[in-house]
Amino acid sequence: MTIPEAKQYVGKNCWVRWLDRRGEEHAKVFQVESLRFVPLYGAYMMGGTEEVRLERITEIRALD
């Protein structure tokens, strides 16, 4: 997922599935607060309790 694709989810509650660095799958519902680019690490989706790298997201659905 790229930053332009992810912009449509900012401010919405979303169900997100992603892979961590060990390849384990996680899924959680959280409100997407912002998108950030961190030099040397890449783009992140920021939620209230989670920070997920955009390249690791495998599925996302807006709930509202």
Domain locations along the chain: 3-62
**Rounded Cα distance, 47 and 61, in Å:** 14
Q: Which pLDDT tens digit goes with each residue over 38-60?
A: 999 999 999 988 899 999 999 99
What mean pLDDT do residues 3-9 have?
95
**Rounded Cα distance, 44 and 55, in Å:** 8
């599925």: which residue's tokens?
59
3-state SS of 2-58 is CHHHHHHHCCCEEEEEEECCCCCEEEEEEEEEEEEEECCCEEEEEECCCEEEHHHEE
64 pLDDT more than 90? no
Q: Which pLDDT tens digit goes with each residue over 9-29?
A: 999 999 999 999 999 999 999
Q: List the beta bridge partners of residue 35.
A: 45
With 0.75 as the threshold, say if the pTM is over it. yes
